[in-house]
Structure 1
Amino acid sequence: MERSAQDGLIGPLLLARSAIDRSSPLRGDDEWLKKAWADDRSKVLVIHEGRTLVRRSGTELAIELFSPAEAPPGRHYLLGVDDGGVSYFAVSAPLPGARGAEGRSEGRVVAPLTAETVPEGRPVAMGLRQIGALLGDRDAGLLVYAVALEAWHTSHEFCPRCGSRTEVAGGGNTRVCPRDASVHFPRVDPAVIMLVHDDADRVLLARGPSWPKDRYSILAGFVEPGESLERAVIREVAEEVGVTVTAPRYLGSQPWPFPRSLMLGFFTRALTTELRCDPHEIAEARWYTRAELTEALAAGSVRLPPEVSIARRLIETWFGGHLSGD
C-alpha cells in the first residue's frame, strides 16, 4: 500500500529488527554465563571480519548456528535469550565448514538479490550488507549485534586512559582495565541521514566522489560533539550541497555497524535549491521529481542504495511506494 511521507516510513527498517531479549541484567552474572555456555541448547553464531555462515534451504536463508561444544575456540559474547529460554552467543573466530570463509574462493557470494542466488547445500560465508535484507527477524538482529560487538572489540583492546590491554567482561559487552579499573562500553557514533525535498516536491540525490557514476543516495553526516540531531541535519546539508533547510522531522533509526554507526533518519524541507557541492564530499547532486526518478531508474542511469539501508526506506517513503534500482 502506498503512503505519503507524512504517514511515516514505508516498510520496516531491516537492520532494526530483532526477536530476542538482550538480557542485560544477566551480563554481570558469571555463574549464569558459565551455565549458559555449557548448555547444549545454547546457540552460537560464529563471526569473522564481519561475516558469518549462512545456509539456504529452499527459499529460506538462515544463519548457521552451533552449540557451544561445536563452536570454534575464540572470544565469545552474550547476544541474548529468546522466549523459550535459549541463550544466544557470538564467537569471534575463523569460520568453519565453508570454503570461501576467508573471503576469496568460489564459496563467497557477492551482493545477492534473493535467497535463491545463494548456493544450496552447504554453508557460505557472507556479510551483513549482502544478507541483512534476506534474513528473518531473529537472525538479522543476531548478526547486527555480533558484527557491532566484533568491530568494537577488535578496535578497542587498549585502555584510552593508561594504554593497558583491557579484559573482556560483562558477557562481552564491556571491557575493563586491570590497571586503573576503568570500565569501557561499546562505542556508537550517531549519524544523521536526511531526505531533502523542496516546495516543488522534488527529492535531492547525490553521489560521493568514490561511488560508481550511477549510484545515488541522500545526504548523511556524523553528529558533532555538543550538537543536536536537528542542528546536525541543517549543518550537514549546508556543508555538503550549500542548501538551506528547515524543520527536520525524525522518522526512524537503525544500526549501521560499519563499524559502529547509528543512523537517525530525517525528512527536511529546502528553503533554497541552488546546489554548491563540496567536492571533497559530493561528486554531483541534482533534484528529481518522481517522474524523473522513475525514468532514471528505468534507464539505468540511477541506482539506489540497497534495500537494507535506511536511505532506501526514506527515498521510498518520499516516493510513496517500492522502487527498483539496486
Structure 2
Amino acid sequence: MRANQDAPGFTGGCLDRADHLRRDEAAMQAARMHPQARFLIVDRLKPLLSPDGDRLLWVRRGEAPAGTTVFLGLDEEGRPHFAVDGPADTLPGVATDARAAGARLPGSEAAIVAQARSLLDWHRRHGFCANCGTPTAMAKAGWARQCGACGAEHFPRVDPVVLMLAECKGMVLVGRQKGFPPGFYSALAGFVEAGESLEEAVRRELWEEVGLRVGAVRYVASQPWPFPSSLMIGAMAAAESFELRLDATEIEAARWADREEVAAVLRNAGPWSAPPPLALAHTLLRRFVAG
C-alpha cells in the first residue's frame, strides 16, 4: 500500500531526472553501461513487479529485453534508472496493470510507474512527425523525438484535466456517469480547452455538466494520471446555489453530500461508494471532510 495515504496517487517521485544528461549522448551511453544501472521492464504498458507484488522489479542491463528504452533519472546514490518497452516473459516478476501497481506500491515507486508508462506510451503513438508526416527518431534519452526531414522536435505531451468538487453551505456535489459501477459517485471532471485558464475550465465544466454557476475556485492538489498522459488538477469551487440541470449525455445522476455523509462513504459505510485512495477525487473528498 502507499506509504503516505494523504498524498494523491502516482506522486512522490524521488529520482533526479537529470535533464543535463539527457542532451549528452556520450553521458547517456555511459549511464546505460554503468554496472549499477537498473532497468524497469514495461510489458505492453504493464510495469514488472516483484513476485509478491509489493515493489518494482529492477533488472540489470544484460537481463533487459530489446525495446524502446527511456531514461528515468538517477537515484540518491547516482545509479541510472531506465524503462524498457519490451516482453517480460523470461523474468521472474509479474507484469501488472498500472492502476493496480499504483495502488499497491509506495508513493515513490508508483510515481515511477506513472513516469515510465506515460513516456513509453507516447513513443508508441508518436512515431511520425506531426508537421510533415515523416518517421521520427527518439532523442534526448527518450524525452523528445526528432524529425530528420523538417527538423521539428516533438516532446511528450501532458493533457490538463480539472477535477472539482462544487461546495455550497457545507455540502459538496458528486456525480456519476452511465459507465460507473452501481452506486459509485465521484468528483466532476473535464479537459481544459484551448485558450482557457484552470479556473475558467472548472466554471465551464460545472455549468455544462450540471448547470451550476460557481464563483471562487481554489486549487487543492494535482496528480499525474498515466492513462495515457493526463495531469489531474483538483479544485474546490464555491457554488451559488444547490439547483442543478444535468447534461444527460455526460452525467447520469448527481447528489449533494455533507461532511458526515462523505466521511461515512470514505469508511465504506455510506449510501454510495467513492473512488479509491489512488484517485485524486478521493483526496478531494478527504480534504473536504477535514475541513
TM-score class, shorter-chain normalisation, is over 0.9
Q: 1:295 to 1:76 in 2, by over 3 A?
A: closer
How big is the shift at 1:291? 3.1
Which residue pairs with 2:11 in the alignment?
16
- Deviation track 1:162-192 (CA, whole Å, cap 9, x = no partner) reads 1111101100010001110100000111111
Which residue pairs with 2:119 in the alignment?
149
Q: Alignment partner for residue 211 of structure 2, among 231, 242, 255?
A: 242
- Deviation track 1:203-231 (CA, whole Å, cap 9, x = no partner) reads 11100121112111001111110101101
Q: Alignment partner for residue 25 of structure 1, among 20, 26, 47?
A: 20
RMSD, aligned α-carbons? 1.8
Letter in 1 for 2:43: H
Q: How does 1:26-41 map to 2 (within 5 A)?
A: 26-41=21-36
Q: How does 1:173-188 map to 2 (within 5 A)?
A: 173-188=143-158
Letter in 1 for 2:101: I
Q: 1:251 to 1:298 in 2, by over 3 A?
A: closer
How big is the shift at 1:82? 1.2
Query: SS of 2:228's equivalent?
Result: coil
Quick one: distance in 1 between partners of 2:270 and 2:240?
30
User: Please, what TM-score do these two structures have when normalized by structure 2?
Assistant: 0.93
Structure 1 unpaired stretches of 5+? 1-9, 99-121, 322-326
How big is the shift at 1:301? 4.3
Letter in 1 for 2:26: E
Quick one: distance in 2 between partners of 1:223 and 1:246?
18
Quick one: distance in 2 between partners of 1:88 and 1:293?
41
Which residue pairs with 2:68 in the alignment?
75
Which residue pairs with 1:126 in the alignment?
96
Q: How does 1:85-96 map to 2 (within 5 A)?
A: 85-96=78-89
Quick one: distance in 1 between partners of 2:107 and 2:230?
20
Q: 1:293 to 1:12 in 2, by over 3 A?
A: closer
Which residue pairs with 1:53 in the alignment?
48
Q: Alignment partner for residue 106 of structure 2, among 132, 136, 148?
A: 136
Q: Which moved further from structure 2: 241-250 or 128-137?
A: 128-137
How big is the shift at 1:39? 1.6
Quick one: distance in 2 between partners of 1:56 and 1:62?
9
Which residue pairs with 1:7 in the alignment?
none
Letter in 2 for 1:31: A
Query: SS of 2:61's equivalent?
Result: coil
Matched, 1:42 2:11: no
Letter in 2 for 1:209: K
Which residue pairs with 1:190 in the alignment?
160
How big is the shift at 1:295? 5.4
Letter in 1 for 2:121: A
Identity of aligned residues (%): 38
Structure 2 unpaired stretches of 5+? none
How big is the shift at 1:138? 3.2
Letter in 1 for 2:25: D
**Contact 2:102–2:278 under 8 Å retained in 1:** yes
Quick one: distance in 2 between partners of 1:281 and 1:49?
31
How big is the shift at 1:126? 1.0
Which residue pairs with 1:259 in the alignment?
228
**Contact 2:68–2:120 under 8 Å retained in 1:** no
Quick one: distance in 2 between partners of 1:249 and 1:235?
15
Quick one: distance in 2 between partners of 1:204 and 1:258?
25
Q: How many aligned residue pairs are there?
A: 286
Letter in 2 for 1:91: V
Letter in 1 for 2:111: G
Q: Which moved further from structure 2: 221-230 or 293-302?
A: 293-302
Letter in 2 for 1:90: A
**Contact 2:88–2:95 under 8 Å retained in 1:** yes
How big is the shift at 1:155? 1.2
Which residue pairs with 1:225 in the alignment?
194
User: Please, what TM-score do these two structures have when normalized by structure 1?
Assistant: 0.83
**Contact 1:52–1:95 under 8 Å retained in 2:** no
Which residue pairs with 2:247 in the alignment?
278
Q: Which moved further from structure 2: 190-199 or 10-19?
A: 10-19
How big is the shift at 1:123? 2.1
Quick one: distance in 2 between partners of 1:301 and 1:292?
8
How big is the shift at 1:129? 1.1
Quick one: distance in 1 between partners of 2:215 and 2:224?
25
Letter in 2 for 1:266: A
Letter in 1 for 2:290: G
How big is the shift at 1:293? 3.7
Query: SS of 1:132's equivalent?
Result: helix
Quick one: distance in 2 between partners of 1:293 and 1:51?
33
